[in-house]
Structure 1
Amino acid sequence: MDFDSRSPVVVLAGGTGGAKLARGMADVAGDDLVVIANTGDDVEIYGAYVAPDPDLVAFWLADRIDERGWGLEDDTFNVMDGLRELGVDVWFNLGDRDLAYGVRRAELLAEGVRYTDAVGELTRALGLSSAVLPMADAPVRTTIRSGDRTLAFQEFMVRERAQPPIDDVRYEGAAQASLSPEVAAALRNARAIVVGPSNPVISIGPILAVPGMAEALRESPAPVVGVSPVVGGQIVKGPSAPFLTWAGVEVSAAGVAEYYGDLLDGIVCDEELPAGGLPSLRVDTLLNDVAQRRRVATDVLSFAEGLRG
């Protein structure tokens, strides 16, 4: 996609909420959709370079997501079973075809291919016309400090089941990262920018930590609209609540809006916000089926276009 000659709809996404909204937005924006995906969750394991959020988004966009909510539909797990038979501690489970994507990505990166181009090759193999862009080509890793331990994100989430107390969150390597030309052009030329209903701290936080990202959002002529991950006063999925609590943020749409601050021009949520504050649209934001995802995406895009005037 030539981001300098088009006006894309850009979605910042990580985790299931962002991926579901991206899938609905694909029905509304079509080929103009660009997803900037969190890469702070990435992990190198089993000889593969695994990119959970870019792949999650891609599998959703390709309608290949498994009913588990992650991985490829109807995948097998023969390699994981074989590793267990060899005595390997398989704490991070990957399907065989899912693993193949990680192995191929590792090969491309070892050959010196840019991360953006490696992701592009794999998304094209899925037949996608929408673009999935990693937030940066340089490695960024989210880590969580709990007591005297510092845990990589996947260790915290998968091995430890997100149970340890959260004492600090860091985005290692973010200071050395930079916007790719594709990300910079997509934000510069966007007609709307949507911050997905993802965990603000561990899914969107790493994206915003890339130098130049927040400035590009502020400088873009496009309206920037957030979609609250808080539905019915609760987090639908994942450990957003403890991370928001760690960050001193109220678990509410108002709290999420406060967390993002002046990056947002408006927010979409299912609760009434105080009058006179950030412009808001109150709608049902559940994303459980095709109709809901399409409706929310339509509402979000219409709201953004209204803010643009």
Structure 2
Amino acid sequence: MAELNITLLAGGVGGAKAAEGLAASQYASGTRVVGNIADDEEFHGLWVSPDIDTLIYSLADKIDRQQGWGRKGETHQVLQELALLGQETWMTLGDLDLATHIYRTALKKQGMSASEITRRLAQYHGASLPILLPTDDVVQTKLHTDKGYLSFQEYFVREHCDAQVKRVEYVGAETATPCEATLEQIQNCDLVVLAPSNPIVSIGAILSVPGIAEALENTSAYVIAISPLIAGKTVKGPADQMLAAMGKPANSMGIYQCYQRFIDALVIDESDRQEASALHDLGVDVLVTPSFMSNTDEKRDLLSKVVDFALQRQTIRVA
């Protein structure tokens, strides 16, 4: 078989796991990853891209596996000193991690595009898959909550998701220009996989960039999404809570409603098998399979199964 051209939309830890699964599979050489930049925020004068860095560190096997983010073997002397100086240190930035943020910020101030900075960092760290961005412009997820107007990092890290989300806003999205390379990747690929990431603040933020959702609607590629829910709950993160806050059911149907404009298929966990028939009735292909990913084998097996399912369900053209 000729090489499959695969696009993975990924955000956060779930996205990084899916990316690792494809990187460990027979489909690695044809895979490109589109990462979420809407969690980006400035800390201590440095521009931090949490989801992109999680992707890079994971694909380079430099991630702290226990916590799922940050560098393994990390120290926090700078953060400890900042705390003594009376600075806010709720965003845990390690000493090795800070080097990445210093480098990114310096190049950003020189006028280099976020895409090129990401490419250089991925190359330096040895990320095993190319990482594309939805836009080189600044787009930030902001949440209207009962505790005020919060950035996603304030909500997720500082408040530990302990705030009622009333509305989600993607600031800057309306005027953002999509990266041409990303639009071309979606248009020309054979298969699009939506990682088991938060459909509202991770994948949803990518889709908020003008042209991205439209590209998914218009592509001839087969589009398959992996639900981040297992028995109606997320393994990590607030996706289930956010679905409910947005008036969507915290189940497979809620995930479908987020992506119904363009998906051909949905992957749901074995524990949610009873929800498959309702999805079938809507004309959606459904793969029911264990979807928890705790190690490399499980990541590779799930993503290989996802790609194989897509190949079986539709004749995918190959390059």
Asked whether the two chains share a fold, i.e. TM above 0.5, the reply is yes
Identity %: 34
User: Residues 16-44 of structure 1, C-alpha deviation per residue, up to 9 Å, x if partnerless?
Assistant: 11110110011122232211111110011
Partners of 2:127 and 2:153 lie apart in 1 by 27
Q: Quick one: which of 43, 50, 55 aligns to 1:57?
A: 55
Q: Which runs of 5+ in 2 are unaligned?
A: none
- Per-residue deviation, 1:145: 0.8
Note if contact 2:12-2:202 (Cα within 8 Å) is conserved in structure 1.
yes
Moved over 6 A (4+): none
Match runs of 1:1-309 below 5 Å: 8-28=5-25, 29-66=27-64, 67-147=66-146, 149-270=148-269, 271-272=272-273, 273-274=276-277, 275-277=280-282, 278-309=284-315
Distance in 2, matches of 1:133 and 1:48, equals: 21
Instruction: Report if aligned partners of 1:17, 1:197 keep a CA contact under 8 Å in 2.
Output: yes
d(CA) in 1 for partners of 2:128, 2:74: 23
Measure the CA separation in 1 of the matches of 2:50 and 2:107.
Answer: 17
Q: Which moved more, 1:253-262 or 1:194-203?
A: 253-262
CA drift of 1:178 comes to 2.0
Q: Is the 8 A contact 2:147 2:164 kept in 1?
A: no
Instruction: Identify if the C-alpha distance between structure 1 residues 254 and 139 changes in structure 2 by more than 3 Å, giving closer, same or farther.
Output: same
Structure 1 Cα separation of the partners of residues 195 and 286 of structure 2? 15
**Cα 1:203/1:264, change in 2 over 3 Å:** same
Cα-to-partner distance string for 1:197-249 (whole Å, 9 max, x where unaligned): 01111111111110000110111111010000111332111111111001111
How many residues are aligned here? Answer: 304
Superposed CA RMSD in Å reads 1.4
Equivalent position SS for 1:72:
coil
* 1:166 partner letter: V
CA distance in 2 between partners of 1:54 and 1:148 (Å): 27
Q: 1:146: Cα distance to partner?
A: 1.5
Q: Once the two structures are superposed, what CA deviation does each residue of 1:234-281 show, in whole Å capped at 9, x if it has no partner?
A: 211111111100111111112211221121010111233114331111
Q: What is the alpha-carbon distance in structure 1 between the residues aligned to residue 115 and residue 127 of structure 2?
A: 15
Residues in 2 aligned to 1:147 and 1:269: alpha-carbon distance in whole angstroms: 32
Say whether the 8 Å CA contact 1:47–1:103 is kept in structure 2.
Answer: no
Check 1:84–1:186 CA distance in 2 against 1; reply closer, same or farther (3 A cut).
same
Tell which deviates more after alignment, 296-305 or 254-263.
254-263
Q: Any idea what SS the aligned residue of 1:262 has?
A: coil
Residue 129 of structure 1 and its aligned partner are, at CA, apart by 4.2
The equivalent residue for 1:3 is none
Once the two structures are TM-superposed, the CA of residue 185 in structure 1 deviates from its matched residue by 1.5
Question: Taking structure 2 as the reference length, what is the TM-score of the superposition?
Answer: 0.92
Give yes or no for contact 1:71–1:95 (8 Å, CA) kept in 2. Answer: yes
* Aligned partners of 1:14 and 1:204 also within 8 Å: yes
Q: Partners of 1:187 and 1:31 in 2: how far apart? A: 16
Cα offset for 1:89?
Answer: 1.9
- How far 1:148 moved relative to its partner? 7.3
Secondary structure in structure 1 of the residue aligned to 2:91: coil
Q: 1:7–1:189: 8 Å Cα contact kept in structure 2?
A: no
Stretches of structure 1 that go unaligned for 5 or more consecutive residues are 1-5
Match of 1:224, SS? strand
Structure 1 range deviating more: 275-284 or 35-44: 275-284
149-158 or 98-107, larger mean C-alpha shift: 149-158
Contact (CA 8 Å) 1:16, 1:56: kept in 2 or not?
yes
Show CA shifts across 1:113-146 (max 9, x none): 0110010000000112411112210000000112
The Cα shift of 1:91 comes to 1.4
Shift of 1:7: 5.4
> Normalization by structure 1: what TM-score?
0.95
